[in-house]
Amino acid sequence: MKYVNCNVCGADNWFVRYQSTLNTHAPRVEAFRCTTPDYGEHTQIVQCADCAHIFANPTWEADDLLHAYTTVEDETYVAERAGRELTFEKHLNALERFTGAGNGRTLLDVGAYIGVFVETAQNAGWRAIGVEPSAWAVREARRRDLCMIEGTLDSAELAHQTFDVLTMWDVIEHLDDPRAELEKSFAKLKPGGLIAVHTMNVESLTARLMGSRWPWLMEMHVQFFGKRSLSRLMADVGFDILEARTEGRYLRLGYLASRLEGFNKPLGKLAHWAVDKFRLAEVAIPINFGDLFTVYATRPL
């Protein structure tokens, strides 16, 4: 592991917010599944005394993080596809408030996983491709004939390409160096192009009330942004901020019950019982605790 400076302001001036709850000095690959139930298991989390950004410190080495994401597999995510499709349809509708319909324009989804948003955008008229480090996830996406690149923004296949829209859904919280990734994203956007960055909101009322029990405090999360800190970082990189907007998601009730069990076993078991008894497992419902948000911004002309 390594100690790092604040990625937002660069300061090496922090205090401990939450002590580590882990007994390992190497990332556990299984903890990097998107659907892992390991809530509350995390490295030491600190807060920058200068700008208030919250981040894991010490954190995993960049190569160890990349190894975890290239090797991870997550069949539960596939089973939850219906909920993801509804969520990404909602996200695309919000994005198109700024861009209008796709009409054949280009879109790059960074950290595309099994390609649900890529497929959603394609179906809506975008020429969408995804880039994703997980070999398993890329295979899953290609089974649906989606255009996917196995790798990162540094992949050779993207070297000479630029896009009208670039998206990062639930990605930036996993990054060793989000500033560098946003700089690469800036370079991949055409002038006037739009970026959408979605993550959890550590400044939200839910996060503040729950404190150390906030479920997004997890081993795979190394950056904890609020609307102010992420907007500041993106503006520093050169983006013009349009909006920082709270946005929820859809979850199947069966999947939601499994998430509750990871957080509170008695409550989760009760939820499982009710879902099974009334055959509600496949019903998808909107969930919004106010602790997820998207920043929309553009690359200046």
Question: At which residue do the structure tokens 């809530």 appear?
Answer: 39
Structure tokens at 44: 């030491």
Three state DSSP letters for the chain = CECCCCCCCCCCCEEEEECCCCCCCCCCHHHHCCCCCCCCCCCCEEEECCCCCEEECCECCHHHHHHHHHHCCCHHHHHCHHHHHHHHHHHHHHHHHHHCCCCCCEEEEECCCCCHHHHHHHHCCCEEEEEECCHHHHHHHHCCCCCEEECCCCCHHHCCCCEEEEEEECCHHHCCCHHHHHHHHHHHEEEEEEEEEEEECCCCHHHHHHHHHCCCCCCCCCEECCHHHHHHHHHHHCCEEEEEEECCEEEEHHHHHHHHHHHCHHHHHHHHHHHHHCCCCCCEEEECCCCEEEEEEECCC
**The predicted structure's pLDDT at residue 158:** 96
On the CB side of 163, CA atoms within 13 Å amount to: 25
Q: Are 39 and 217 in contact (CB under 8 A)?
A: yes
Nearest Cα neighbor of 171 from 144, 139, 197, 202 is 197
Structure tokens at 74: 């997550």
Nearest Cα neighbor of 208 from 295, 289, 294 is 289
**The predicted structure's pLDDT at residue 9:** 96
Mean pLDDT, consecutive 10-residue stretches, the chain (301 aa), reads: 95 97 82 86 96 96 88 86 92 97 97 97 98 95 97 95 98 96 98 98 97 94 97 98 96 80 76 81 90 98 94
Question: At which residue do the structure tokens 């998808």 appear?
Answer: 284
Angle at Cα 93 formed by Cα 88 and Cα 94, nearest 5°? 95
Which domains are delineated in the chain?
14-298 (3.40.50.150)
Nearest Cα neighbor of 230 from 181, 192, 193, 289 is 181
Query: Which residues have C-beta within 8 Å of that of residue 207, sequence separation ≥ 6?
Result: 200, 201, 214, 216, 291
Structure tokens at 2: 């390594």
Three state DSSP letters for 232-255 = HHHHHHCCEEEEEEECCEEEEHHH
**The predicted structure's pLDDT at residue 79:** 81
Q: Are 191 and 16 in contact (CB under 8 A)?
A: no
**The predicted structure's pLDDT at residue 276:** 83
**The predicted structure's pLDDT at residue 278:** 82
Predicted structure pTM score = 0.93
Query: Would you say how long the chain is, in residues?
Result: 301
